[in-house]
Structure 1
């Protein structure tokens, strides 16, 4: 599903990853992180995700402080640790300011 976002500006966190073959709890944890952000993290606007050989998740945020707070959320820190230990061969995170958007 395409995330509903407000009129720019807002921020995008772009998380690109290559997975290991270990799936032990990955999907459950990924879904739980989006649900947690939706329910408890001020400034969270939505997320979009796709996976083939390379996975990409883009989450949208109202401001940089909200992103910083989410990065230090206790449950999210645990998911990050599990990602490094079990689920990802490699990943990269980019943060960008969205100045314009278009839709069809």
Structure 2
């Protein structure tokens, strides 16, 4: 069974490379996922990371105001600041509008 989301929706694509300093990262990442799930307009999240520290997290949102509200969340801003100071060597954030989705195999 595949997730179904009302279309169109938006994806925030967060690509990153971690530093060697990861103290506190796992706890903060878990908290951010928990907090994001509580935000109005949140639709889902997927995340992968390679053994070399390259990662991609895609969060799905109902609309652009929901994304903006998440970005401005005070606890999320603290995590963003710590990410820049300690946990990420680099990162890129892209926002994409999703018009349609197809799955294989079909349900």
Correspondence for 1:61: 61
* RMSD between aligned residues: 1.3
Deviation at 1:102, TM superposition (A): 1.5
Report 1:48-87 matches (<5 A).
Answer: 48-52=46-50, 53=52, 54-87=54-87
Deviation string 1:44-96 (CA, Å, 9 cap, x unpaired) is 01100000132000000000000000000000000000000000000000000
In structure 2, stretches of 5+ residues that fail to align are: none
Whether the aligned pair in 2 keeps the contact of 1:19 and 1:87 (CA below 8 Å) is yes
In structure 1, stretches of 5+ residues that fail to align are: none
Q: Give runs of ≥4 in structure 1 deviating > 6 Å.
A: none
Matched pairs, number: 101
Correspondence for 2:103: 103
Partner SS, residue 34 of structure 1: helix
Q: Which has the larger Rg? A: 2
